[in-house]
Amino acid sequence: MLKSKQAVIIGYGSRKKLLNYLESENLKKLFIVTGKASYKSSGAKKFIETIPKDYSINFFNKFSTNPKYIDVLQGSKLLKKNKCDCIISIGGGSVIDIGKLINAFHSNQAEELEITNGTKIVKKKLIKFVAI
C-alpha cells in the first residue's frame, strides 16, 4: 500500500494501485473532472465504472476548452456541496488545470480573484489531487 502523500501511479495494474492509494488515504468521496468526449474515447469511463459502489463519485465536465473563471467557481461550489475529499482529473492540460484551480479555490474561499490574478499565494491545505 502507498503511504506517502504523493504518489505516481503508472503502467500495468494502475487501477488496483489507484484503488489502494484511495483506500490508504481513506478517500471515499471523489470529484472527477473530465473532458466531454475524451473521457469516453480514452477508455477512462470503463475504468471509472469499475470503482466499487461504496465510493461516492461526482462528475464535473461543464467547462469550456479554455476554462473560464466562472467555470472554476462552479466546480468549486459543486465540490463543496458534495463534500468531496479527492479530485481526480482525467484528461489533458485544460482538464488538469481546472482540477488544480478548483482545489485552490475550494481551499481558499473568498480569495479566488486574488489567486487568479496572482496577488495571493495558495497557502491553505488542499485536498488530495490525482491527475490521469
pLDDT in tens, 45-89: 888 898 989 999 999 999 988 888 899 999 999 999 999 999 999
- List, in sequence order, every residue forming a beta bridge with 128; answer none if it has no partner: 86
Q: Residue type at 18?
A: L
Predicted TM-score of the model (pTM): 0.84
Q: Which single residue is written with the C-alpha cell 468526449?
A: 37
Q: Distance between CA 68 and CA 66 in Å, rounded?
A: 7
Cβ-proximal residues to 12 (8 Å cutoff; 6+ apart), any chain: none
Q: Which of 119, 35, 126, 17 has its CA nearest to residue 76?
A: 126
pLDDT at 61: 94
Q: Distance between CA 86 and CA 19 in Å, rounded?
A: 12
Give tens-digit pLDDT for 77-86: 999 999 999 9
Give tens-digit pLDDT for 77-111: 999 999 999 999 988 889 999 999 899 888 766 56
Q: Which of 129, 79, 82, 128 has its CA nearest to residue 106?
A: 79
Cβ-proximal residues to 74 (8 Å cutoff; 6+ apart), any chain: 62, 63
- List, in sequence order, every residue forming a beta bridge with 87; answer none if it has no partner: 31, 129
